[in-house]
A and B are shown apart, each in its own frame.
Chain A
């Protein structure tokens, strides 16, 4: 049995467009665990997700990102994905003319080193489409074009189910979803994570999706820093008092 993958962010400092966004974040996610990062708008959650995946515009000025104790900072996004990381985008990019299925087939081929049976892939996709309550029309559509906000989120989860990463970073999988869709998407994420023994780093503003999931660790991120960590009790605290106390404390420090 292969050893569980561990993603570690160590004292990470990140600049984007000459502005420091991440100011010393550390966390460790093991395969099979579910971590949640909560925080107000603009706290750097999405930038952290993109930093882990290797966005070219992001500059890491200090600290490190490691997978299985090896730095991945020098690797491109595709190499990081091949090591088992996956990013579910908050705003998936629409790409003209690229068929959704063709994209997924190419990605799967690339991750597995080839030999992907189209027939088996289609069976898998159709199963995921049914689980996510998506229309089979998706099979003939181009990547994220003309998708509603909810459809975009669901297709990101569909990708995760097909690509089977070791650790998935989910950047607000609940935004833009109605109440029923949140339930469907979270059930799918749970099912995939459990069956694939996947580690999850879930980024969200809201606690609704967390009522369907069982996080092991909750991190609160404010102004580019992790300011609190704990178990599910933190979610209840945030439900009651919001981020105000953290924002005030951060302001006081300044």
Chain B
């Protein structure tokens, strides 16, 4: 019998003792979260009040989105609208098997330990062999931190599209934290879209650990638009022969937002494909760290791996750090990493303005153009529309934290598909192959 209370105690110990950045590679480059999040757990509202608040959101702003959410999570309550392939449990309801299937350990990261210690909702998404599912989840934190874990298991030949929207209902410091665990069977297809639009007083914690089976494909698309301090940690492994993982991070910062994104992609088998694309646009005095590490393991011949980081600064007060890294332990592979950052192109501004478009609209055009390739990786049309709307709304008046109004003025042109081949096109080593 596995006792969750023991795990919780262990998690609390880990949270108390672990440093904010556990990796020696990045020990000098991380965003300090200046809040002791456990101190804010005490102000929890009752489950009844929380449920009623969540229902009010569903009936209000969410109704205008025209999207059905299969489950809605608050800080102290949740409810399920559709139970197809999905179960939600509280910590007390967890079985031995539920605990045993965990792929992460509280010692992996300080804030994973925090979520482990105080998680209220455990979501189990199990897609049987050959089945297809599309699920939408909403997370809305109140004044107390929201902690949830999502365990995904996708069977052989099955397909899952999971889209998540994160927002806030708080005026004081809080957090919105989710750990994703993804395990796939052979030839399955999984897309997870994690759209973060928390408010200015919310710490965002987004974790993902994925192990992808033979011939399977996994896409993890994250938009980081809201929050005060934003921490993303992704580990995706192309473990089965011929499998593919694609991690896609989109960051749009304003005000004093601080983003700390770290992703590790691994090619573990022959003929695997792993990519990390991170794009950030910063305004005002926002800060962003993009840390990308690609590992090609011994034996992963005929594999492809790339880390691609791009940044654009719209204002002089922004700070951006791009840290691409790679460890290649096999010879017969294609592997490359690149990073670049620049202010907004003054010649492009002049060109567009000379055609009659005002400065603000030009910035919107250039930024949405900059993100177009990344947005096109989001196959789920509704998630893509929300992502685009969030970006447009923030570019318009720097607002974030609420349910967006759909604004897809540019969506009809964003039809081009992203191709990983482009990364090697013209490369000094691989361009001619």
Binding site for B on A (CB under 8 A): 50, 53-57, 76-78, 80-82, 86-87, 89, 92-93, 95-99, 101-103, 106-107, 110-111, 140, 142-143, 159, 163
- The answer to whether A98 and B358 touch (CB under 8 A), given A76-B353, A92-B351, is no
Specify which of A81, A140, A142 is in contact with B369 (CB 8 Å cutoff). A142
Determine if B347 and A111 form an interchain contact, defined as CB atoms under 8 angstroms apart.
no
Sample 12 A-B pairs with CB under 8 A, ordered by A number.
A50-B350, A53-B350, A54-B354, A56-B346, A78-B359, A78-B362, A81-B353, A92-B351, A98-B368, A99-B372, A103-B355, A111-B356
Q: Is residue B130 within 8 Å, beta carbon to beta carbon, of the partner chain? A: no
* Known contacts A106-B357, A107-B356; is-contact A89 B351 (Cβ 8 Å): yes
Query: Does B361 count as interface, using CB distance less than 8 angstroms?
Result: yes
In the complex with contacts A99-B410, A142-B416, A78-B357 CB distance below 8 A: yes
Interchain residue pairs A-B with the least CB separation, the first 10: A99-B413, A97-B369, A97-B372, A81-B356, A98-B369, A77-B353, A102-B413, A111-B356, A77-B354, A93-B351
Cα–Cα distance between A75 and B118 once the two chains are bound (Å): 57
Q: Which residues of B contact A111 (CB under 8 A)?
A: 356
Q: Are B413 and A106 in contact (CB under 8 A)?
A: no
Q: Are A93 and B345 in contact (CB under 8 A)?
A: yes
Measured between beta carbons, the chain B residues less than 8 angstroms from A56 are 346, 349-350
Bound: A57/B349 CA distance, A:
12
Interface SS, B side? helix
Which residues does chain A contribute within 8 Å of B362, judged by CB atoms? 78
In the complex, which residues of chain B have a beta carbon less than 8 angstroms from the beta carbon of A82? Answer: 356
Residue B224 is within 8 A (CB to CB) of chain A in the complex: no
**Chain B nearest CB, measured from A123 CB (Å):** 16
What per-residue 1/0 map shows which CB atoms of B337-351 lie under 8 Å from chain A? 000000001111111
**C-alpha gap A86/B347 in the complex (Å):** 16
Closest to A169 in B: B354
Contact B416 A107 (CB under 8 A): no
Q: Are B369 and A110 in contact (CB-based, < 8 A)?
A: no
Interface centre among A57, A82, A99, A163 (most CB of B within 10 A): A99
In the assembled complex, which residues on chain A have CB atoms less than 8 Å from the CB atom of B373? 96-97
Count of B interface residues, CB-CB < 8 Å? 31
B369 touches A53 (CB 8 A): no
Count contacts between A and B, CB distance < 8 Å. 95
A159 touches B346 (CB 8 A): no
- The answer to whether A95 and B351 have CB atoms under 8 Å apart is yes
Q: Is the CB of A57 within 8 A of B370?
A: no
User: How far in angstroms is the closest Cβ of chain B from A45?
Assistant: 16
Q: Nearest CB to that of B356 among chain A residues? A: A81
Q: Give Cα A55–Cα B353 distance, bound, in whole angstroms.
A: 10
Query: Are B369 and A93 in contact, with the CB atoms below 8 A?
Result: no
The residue in B347, B372, B413, B416 that gathers the most chain A C-beta atoms within 10 A of its C-beta is B413
Check B235 for interface membership: any CB of A closer than 8 A. no
Evaluate whether A140 and B351 lie within 8 angstroms (CB atoms) in the complex, with A96-B369, A99-B410 already known.
no
How far, in angstroms, from A102 to B345 measured CA to CA in the complex? 19
CB distance from A103 to the nearest CB of B (A): 7
Q: Is the CB of B372 within 8 A of A110?
A: no
Interface positions of B from 395 to 429, Cβ below 8 Å from A:
410, 412-416
Instruction: Determine if A110 and B346 form an interchain contact, defined as CB atoms under 8 angstroms apart.
Output: no
Of B347, B366, B370, which is in contact with the most chain A CB atoms at under 10 Å from its CB? B347
Q: A99-B414, A102-B413 are in contact. Are A107 and B369 (CB under 8 A)?
A: no
Closest Cβ–Cβ distance, residue A80 to chain B (whole Å): 8
A153 and B135 alpha carbons, distance in the complex (Å): 48
Chain A's closest residue to B346 (CB) is A56
Whether the pair B353, A97 counts as a contact (CB closer than 8 A) is no
Q: Is B161 at the interface (CB under 8 A from chain A)?
A: no
CA distance A170 to B415 in the complex (A): 32
Smallest distance from the beta carbon of B291 to chain A beta carbons, Å? 24
Kindly list chain B residues whose C-beta atoms are within 8 Å of the C-beta of A98. Answer: 365-366, 368-369, 372
What CA separation (Å) do A106 and B348 show in the bound complex? 15
Q: In the complex, A102→B368 CA distance in Å?
A: 11
Q: Report whether A97 and B370 are in contact in the complex, using a CB–CB cutoff of 8 Å.
A: yes
